[in-house]
Structure 1
Amino acid sequence: MTSETTRTDPATAGTESEPADLRSLITRARVVLWDFDGPVCRLFAGHSAERVAGDLVSWLEGRGLHGLLTETERGSLDPHVVLRAVDRGHPNSDLVTELEERLTQEELRAAASAMPTPYADPLIRTWSAVGSRLAVATNNSPRVVRRYLTGRGLVACFAPHVYGRTRELRHLKPDPHCVVRALNAMGAAPRSALMIGDTPSDLAAARTAGVPFLGYARTERKAGLLREAGATTVVDSLEPVLAAVRAAARA
């Protein structure tokens, strides 16, 4: 595991964001909603997501279900693309249930070698300690999230607010379902919350739910995708976020 205070990638994106924007987002937030894979950890750091997607495609093809996917979907590097594609053709079917469980098992295996995002652990603990309420809103299985958070000693910072993938796959982000579930469960107004995510689908879900958004991008490519999608505040490290939370607590 990488130290939670060691940067694993060079700074690429955060320098363009005005510090005042970051401060404003943090001082207004009473509830913080975290995407999981990216802002909290690199779930597939030691267990390739590309291989998982390929295995799901091979499993379908081995059952004569090659035609369920387009050529683009068969070549996707994202397991959720495969899952969504099958669900569109066979919603609420036993096939989708079995495929989703296969993905969950792969995610559970990946959790054992997941790499914590630098500064995520102390940021989560600090935000919780100063009285903010935290939740996870993710497309990953909630079982996986809880296993990872328990292993890091962080589950109490979020409990019981972990909202992840359900069997209703149409509710995966960019649908705002998991974000709205978190807000409703916590009795929080959208403008009192902050969503931290690393993909355009996170941004779209937050925007639809009316929740302010903070982008995290550990590479220039990811930062570019977020900015193209309309994100206005993007950081390449959670270190300045941690510093801003500490500064707000002292003010």
Structure 2
Amino acid sequence: MTSDATQTAAATAGTLTDPGELGELTRRARVVLWDFDGPICRLFARHSAGRIAGDLVEWLESRGLRGLLTETERETLDPHVVLRAVDRRHPGSDLVAELEERLTQEELRAASSAMPTAYADPLIRTWAAVGSRLAITTNNSPRVVRTYLTGRGLHSCFAPHIYGRTQDLHRLKPNPDCLNRALRAMGAAPSAALMIGDSPSDFTAACEAGVPFLGYARNERKAKCLRNAGARQMVQSLEPLLRSLRVLGR
């Protein structure tokens, strides 16, 4: 196999592209649980998550709390790593509540410049139009999700089913809590749902909740992470899903 062919095979391995399989997935999904940052938009496309993580670390250090974090945690590019680390050491504290609010404010600023995922808006509207119920299951603040969806004219497709970060930070994905909250509120069996996510934590949460999972992998790095976690059904674009739904709606 040539080098180019090898790269092509690697990029498509584990990617669900067969229209029949996609059609079966969409036909069975009476409830669709969406992760937010990734499948719906790139929240930090123009507002660096790494910078936000650094700002949270600096804020802790300014309060004399540098020792709360390990060196690895201080260097992380993921603000949720900082938040989880502090919560593990001071669960339920005012410090954690203030840190979480600082992150929420940063996410709200990022939402104003978030980049919509290609085909997400029409896919959401089409899925709602054919009778499936939609929910958001995310580690981001529900305030941020509502702000973004309202700005895109999509809030009514999901409301009131937006399940995001709470003060119980130990329940963030990969814990399946937000998925279970959505299923309970919607009166849906896990087998009648479908989770669309782009990270190993999404896949793990879906498995724990018993919900079928479809990975959205916009690049090979994302696809490799999902494959390594055990995900075997994924798409590199939401466009085939949209085509499948439009066939279903005829």
User: Could you tell me the TM-score, scaled by structure 2's length?
Assistant: 0.93
CA shift for structure 1 position 236: 0.8
Amino acid at match of 2:217: A
Equivalent position of 1:77 in the other structure: 77
CA shift for structure 1 position 248: 1.8
Q: Are the aligned partners of 2:17 and 2:240 in contact in 1 as well (CA < 8 Å)? A: no
In the alignment, structure 1 segments of 5+ residues that lack a partner are: 1-11
Equivalent position of 1:25 in the other structure: 25
Q: Are the aligned partners of 2:138 and 2:178 in contact in 1 as well (CA < 8 Å)? A: yes
Equivalent position of 1:5 in the other structure: none
Equivalent position of 1:9 in the other structure: none
Aligned residues: 239
Does the residue aligned with 1:72 lie in a helix, a strand or coil?
A: helix
Amino acid at match of 1:17: L
Equivalent position of 2:186 in the other structure: 186
CA shift for structure 1 position 146: 0.2
Q: 1-side partners of 2:143 and 2:121: how far apart?
A: 19
Could you report, residue by residue, the CA deviation over 1:201-248 in whole angstroms, capped at 9, with x for unpaired residues? 000000000000000011100100001111111111000011111112
- The aligned runs of 1:83-162 (5 Å cut-off) are 83-162=83-162
Q: Are the aligned partners of 1:14 and 1:237 in contact in 2 as well (CA < 8 Å)? A: no
CA shift for structure 1 position 73: 1.0
Equivalent position of 2:37 in the other structure: 37
- The aligned runs of 1:168-207 (5 Å cut-off) are 168-207=168-207
Higher relative contact order (CA 8 A, sep 6+): 1
Q: Are the aligned partners of 1:46 and 1:110 in contact in 2 as well (CA < 8 Å)? A: yes
Amino acid at match of 1:131: G
Equivalent position of 1:48 in the other structure: 48
Q: 1-side partners of 2:219 and 2:64: how far apart?
A: 38
Q: 2-side partners of 1:201 and 1:22: how far apart?
A: 22
* Residues 1:226 and 2:231 are matched in the alignment: no
CA shift for structure 1 position 16: 3.4
Does the residue aligned with 1:47 lie in a helix, a strand or coil?
A: coil
Relative distance call for 1:224 and 1:170 in structure 2 (3 A) is: same
Q: 2-side partners of 1:13 and 1:59: how far apart?
A: 43
In the alignment, structure 2 segments of 5+ residues that lack a partner are: 1-10
Q: Are the aligned partners of 1:35 and 1:196 in contact in 2 as well (CA < 8 Å)? A: yes
- The aligned runs of 1:54-73 (5 Å cut-off) are 54-73=54-73
Of all paired residues, the percent bearing the same amino acid is: 72
CA shift for structure 1 position 72: 1.2
Equivalent position of 1:4 in the other structure: none
Q: 2-side partners of 1:247 and 1:127: how far apart?
A: 12
Amino acid at match of 1:16: T
Does the residue aligned with 1:16 lie in a helix, a strand or coil?
A: coil
User: Could you tell me the TM-score, scaled by structure 1's length?
Assistant: 0.93
CA shift for structure 1 position 45: 0.8
Q: 1-side partners of 2:14 and 2:90: how far apart?
A: 45
Relative distance call for 1:16 and 1:164 in structure 2 (3 A) is: closer
Comparing 16-25 and 178-187, the one that deviates more: 16-25
Comparing 36-45 and 60-69, the one that deviates more: 60-69
Max radius of gyration: which structure? 2
Instruction: Provide the aligned C-alpha RMSD in A.
Output: 1.2
